[in-house]
Amino acid sequence: MLGTELPDSLAELFKVGETQWTYVDYEEEMDNVQSMNWFMDYVGIKDEDCIVNDDTQIIVKHPRYEYYLQIDAGCLGDFFSHGFEVTYISPEEL
C-alpha cells in the first residue's frame, strides 16, 4: 500500500461527514465494485448499516445521526487508485 486516507470506523465516517477519501495500492488492481467492497470491509460497514447497496454506491445509516451518508466509489485514473465520495442525504430524499 503506497497511500491511504480512510476512516477507521463507521463512527469516524459519520463524524467527518462530506468529504472524499482516497486509497492507492499499486500491488492490487480493483474495479469500482471491488474497491467499494474493500472500503466497506476496511471501515467495518456491515450489511445492516446499508439502506442501499448498488455495488458502486451505498447509503449508510448510524444510530447517532438523523441523516444518512451516500458513498460513491470511483477510480482516480487507473485500477490502483480509488476515491470514495461521501455526501449527506436526508431520509426524505430516499
In DSSP notation, 25-83 reads -TT----HHHHHHHHHHHHT--GGGEEEE-SSEEEE--TT-SSEEEEEEEESSSSSEEE
Distance in angstroms (rounded) separating the CA atoms of residues 94 and 92: 6
What pTM does this model have? 0.92
- Give the confidence band of 3 by pLDDT, cuts at 50, 70, 90: very low
Q: Judge whether residue 33 has pLDDT over 50.
A: yes
Q: Judge whether residue 1 has pLDDT over 90.
A: no
- Give the confidence band of 4 by pLDDT, cuts at 50, 70, 90: low
